[in-house]
Amino acid sequence: MSILVRVLIFFGSLIVGLAILKYTHPLINLTGSISWAEKYFSLGAAGGTYNFWKLVGVLIIILGLVVAVRGGFPFL
C-alpha cells in the first residue's frame, strides 16, 4: 500500500471519527437508541448509546492511525 493511500485512509478515518464524536446527539436522533448499548455501556445512568457512539468514533480514528503507520493489516 503506497504512502499516499495510507495518508488518505488516515485523514478519512480522522474526519469520520471526529464527525461521530462531534455530532453524536444528531446521530442518535437519526438512528434512535440502541437497546444493547444502553444495557452494556451505561455507566450507572442512561447514556449507553452515547458512550457506544463515542467509542466507535475513537476506534475509527485509532484504526486509521494503525493502518497509516503499519501499512494495513495482512488481510487488507
List the domain range (segments joined by +) for residue 15.
1-40
Does residue 31 belong to any structural domain of this protein?
A: yes
User: Using CA atoms, how far apart are residues 53 and 27, in angstroms rounded to an integer?
Assistant: 9
Does residue 75 belong to any structural domain of this protein?
A: no
What is the per-residue pLDDT for 71?
A: 65
User: Using CA atoms, how far apart are residues 30 and 53, in angstroms rounded to an integer?
Assistant: 13
Does residue 47 belong to any structural domain of this protein?
A: no
All cell numbers assigned to 4 = 499516499
- Say yes or no to pLDDT of 13 above 90: yes
Whole-structure pTM value: 0.83
Q: What is the pLDDT of residues 17-70, one digit of tens each?
A: 999 999 999 999 998 888 888 888 887 776 888 999 999 999 999 999 988 887
Does residue 34 belong to any structural domain of this protein?
A: yes
Residue 68: how many other CB atoms lie within 10 Å: 20
Q: Report how far apart, in Å, the C-alpha atoms of 47 and of each of 5, 40, 64, 67 are.
A: 36, 10, 26, 30
Q: How many domains does the chain have?
A: 1
What is the per-residue pLDDT for 35?
A: 87
Does residue 29 belong to any structural domain of this protein?
A: yes
